[in-house]
């Protein structure tokens, strides 16, 4: 491990008030190990600094970035609802990941951008062992919540029950002397990535302002082997990173490389993943995003922390090979995947149902005029209405499907959308539009918009209404067109 003078590190040798928070009592980690990891994280950020000279950190935005900034202003989002607590950031990778030393050493050799790639280092990286170790799915993961409050303990059990219901990963609650995962109320929300096989026990911190279903799901997903979505090697095809607005000391948090991270090869890029960064992550100005969707219509889809998305659940099943005991192949349509517990049927995206995911799932909202509409060459109008007069803790949905003749596509014009809650990530209500890929989140819209035009890739077009409170209506015109 290299050592550097204090002037080079500027604060690494100073007592850090939050270091003890990262190494709770009886932790297998150590303060010395934590300081070594901090140095490696610092090296990653130093490696990122030349990205300014590579043109990614300019004095003014590129033409493409300026267009996205202008479109963001036009969308008229209210300021984000954020938690600015970053006390433990010096020891964390990407804001909520506590690395082990081996992982930090691997990442310190990985470049942030393709322009800065070192081919020799890239080769070394590919020859290394897997970045994260998976758990043995045939044995329950022992965990304890002895350090947590009663309300947070109940929440953790709910999230664990969710992952057990929706995957083949098993958990069992025990006491802190026998547990493999210990939940602790430390500073912030953080977790290790994957099973720390050289330790008897590892922690997940559910600190202040972390007690939501989506956030706890996110941290447990890290412990099971998931990384952040925007770290995918193909992320530049889907998002643009606004380096102009990123704290220079946090540039290393935007590195990308899928050679180390196997989860990224399992499903398409999902803006709506519970693992996708908040659009304002590590921002200098918290009113301007650091992550822009290249297709601006997906901007409000990013950063949701309501619950794992369908593709998150699908990826977990694929990562742990949950269906490996199923012998016969089943033809799952519309992005569904084989049910590992009932091998002859499929698990479907939320807007579909049936043994092969070929039927419309109407949804659960009490106010819902769900329809399966047929398109022809004439323009036809439809008004959708959905919602609830009561406040709900999680989203409920109402689904609409428009179908063209085989070999044709749907063209749709959204003329009107009523939604008074125009916030990034649309946390209260939204219309979600799907032109393709029903197994990843659609374009989430919750602000009053001018006319928008959409075109499907196939003969199916889906609209999903989401609400936790209040009623929403939208008005569309649709027709079928040739391919």
Print burial letters for 424-456: b (CB count within 10 Å at least 16), e (below 16). bbbbbbbbbbbbebbbbbbbbbbbebeeeebeb
Q: Exactly one of 219, 403, 432, 435 is catalytic; which is it?
A: 219
The label of the residue with tokens 């209500």 reads: 429
Residue 464's CB is within 10 A of a number of other CB atoms, namely 25
Q: Say how far apart CA 30 and CA 16 lie, in whole Å.
A: 14
Q: Are 481 and 395 in contact (CB under 8 A)?
A: no
Counting beta carbons within 10 angstroms of the beta carbon of residue 85, is it exposed (0 to 12), middle (13 to 18) or buried (19 or more)? middle
Q: Say how far apart CA 411 and CA 25 lie, in whole Å.
A: 59
Can 219 be counted among the known catalytic residues? Answer: yes
Give the DSSP H or E segment for 455. Answer: strand 452-455
Output the DSSP codes for 149-173.
Answer: -HHHHHHHHHHHHHHHHTSS--EEE
- Which positions ≥6 away from 261 have C-beta within 8 Å? 131, 132, 227, 231, 232
The label of the residue with tokens 């596509």 reads: 409
Structure tokens at 28: 């297998």
Active site residues: 219
């Amino acid at each position: 491990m290299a050592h550097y003078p204090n002037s080079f590190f500027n604060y690494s040798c100073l007592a850090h008030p939050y270091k003890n928070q990262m190494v709770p009592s009886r932790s297998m980690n150590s303060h010395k190990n934590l300081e070594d990891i901090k140095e490696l994280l610092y090296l990653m950020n130093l490696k990122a600094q030349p990205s300014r000279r590579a043109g990614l950190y300019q004095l003014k935005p590129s033409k493409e970035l300026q267009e996205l900034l202008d479109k963001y202003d036009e969308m008229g989002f209210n300021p984000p609802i954020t938690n600015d607590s970053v006390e433990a950031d010096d020891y964390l990778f990407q804001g909520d990941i506590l690395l082990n030393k081996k992982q930090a050493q691997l990442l310190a050799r990985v470049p942030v951008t393709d322009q800065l790639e070192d081919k020799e280092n890239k080769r070394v990286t590919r020859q290394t062992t897997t970045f994260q170790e998976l758990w043995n799915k045939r044995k329950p993961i022992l965990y304890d919540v002895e350090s947590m409050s009663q309300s947070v303990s109940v929440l953790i059990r709910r999230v664990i029950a969710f992952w057990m219901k929706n995957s083949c990963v098993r958990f069992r609650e025990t006491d802190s002397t026998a547990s493999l995962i210990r939940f602790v109320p430390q500073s912030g929300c953080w977790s290790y990535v994957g099973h720390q096989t050289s330790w008897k026990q590892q922690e997940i911190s559910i600190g202040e302002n972390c007690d939501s279903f989506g956030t706890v799901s996110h941290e447990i997903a890290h412990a099971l082997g998931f990384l952040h979505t925007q770290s995918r090697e193909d992320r530049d095809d889907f998002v643009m990173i606004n380096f102009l607005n990123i704290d220079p000391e946090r540039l290393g948090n935007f590195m990308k490389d899928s050679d180390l991270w196997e989860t990224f090869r399992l499903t398409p890029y999902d803006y709506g993943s519970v693992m996708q960064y908040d659009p304002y992550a590590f921002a200098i100005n918290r009113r301007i995003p650091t992550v822009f969707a290249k297709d601006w219509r997906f901007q409000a889809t990013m950063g949701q922390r309501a619950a794992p998305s369908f593709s998150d659940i699908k990826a977990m099943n694929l990562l742990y090979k949950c269906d490996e005991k199923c012998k016969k192949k089943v033809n799952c349509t519309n992005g569904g995947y084989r049910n590992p517990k009932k091998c002859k049927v499929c698990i479907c995206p939320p807007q579909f149902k049936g043994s092969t995911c070929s039927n419309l799932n109407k949804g659960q909202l009490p106010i819902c005029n769900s329809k399966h509409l047929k398109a022809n060459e004439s323009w036809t109008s439809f008004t959708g209405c959905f919602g609830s007069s009561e406040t709900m803790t999680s989203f409920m949905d109402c689904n609409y499907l428009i179908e063209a003749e085989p070999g044709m596509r749907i063209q749709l014009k959204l003329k009107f959308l009523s939604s008074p809650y125009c916030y990034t990530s649309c946390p209260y209500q939204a219309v979600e539009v799907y032109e393709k890929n029903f197994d990843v989140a659609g374009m989430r819209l919750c602000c009053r918009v001018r006319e928008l035009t959409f075109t499907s890739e196939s003969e199916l077009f889906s609209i999903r209404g989401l609400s936790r409170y209040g009623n929403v209506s939208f008005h569309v015109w649709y027709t079928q067109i040739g391919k």
